């Protein structure tokens, strides 16, 4: 029954994404309305991946306000889930105003390694390693200068 509900309301769509919490809240609402026992969020993730093969997960949003999204899926245009929900958002829109319904264009999503955070993190790690290596390299020199006096 849950698989049929997913097929009736969602479809694969390249270049779009939906917050994982949105899909799960839609699912919980469906279960409550139909007196079904919902599965937990982890099991729901396995269920949705079994229906939509190749579905990927991305973390989108500003630092401190990012959310995990399913990438490659959207709500079907004729789905009852679209009723009463404001229009689809793009990356430039205010995420905090409408956190439940979000679609992002592929061209607007930076590749994984291009975030400022990952670049800063990797360069600072290199700096720490370089400093540690320099200290190790100077250690024998310092010992030899201490022993000769």
pLDDT digits (tens, 9 = 90+) for 39-58: 999 999 999 999 998 899 89
- 73-131: pLDDT as tens digits: 999 999 998 875 544 443 444 444 444 444 444 555 555 554 444 444 444 444 444 44
Place of tokens 């007196």: 35
* 85 φψ region: left (φ > 0), alpha (ψ -120 to 50), beta (else): beta
- 6-37: string of b/e by CB count within 10 Å (b at 16+)? beebbeebeebbbbbebbbebbeebbeeeeee
Question: Residue 72 and residue 82: Cα distance in Å, rounded?
Answer: 18
Angle (CA) 69-10-7 rounded to 5° is 130
pLDDT above 80: residue 24 = yes
Q: What is the pTM of this model?
A: 0.55
């Amino acid at each position: 029954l849950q698989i049929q509900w997913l097929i009736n309301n969602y479809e694969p769509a390249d270049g779009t994404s939906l917050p994982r919490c949105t899909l799960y809240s839609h699912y919980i609402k469906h279960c409550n309305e139909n007196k079904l026992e919902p599965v937990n969020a982890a099991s729901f993730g396995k269920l949705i991946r079994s229906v939509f093969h190749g579905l990927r997960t991305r973390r989108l949003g500003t630092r401190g306000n990012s959310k995990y999204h399913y990438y490659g899926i959207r709500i079907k245009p004729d789905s009852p889930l679209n009723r009463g929900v404001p229009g689809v958002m793009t990356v430039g829109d205010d995420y905090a105003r409408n956190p439940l319904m979000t679609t992002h264009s592929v061209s607007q999503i930076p590749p994984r390694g291009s975030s400022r955070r990952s670049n800063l993190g990797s360069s600072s790690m290199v700096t720490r390693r370089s400093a540690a290596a320099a200290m190790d390299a100077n250690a024998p020199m310092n010992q030899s200068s201490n022993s000769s006096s």
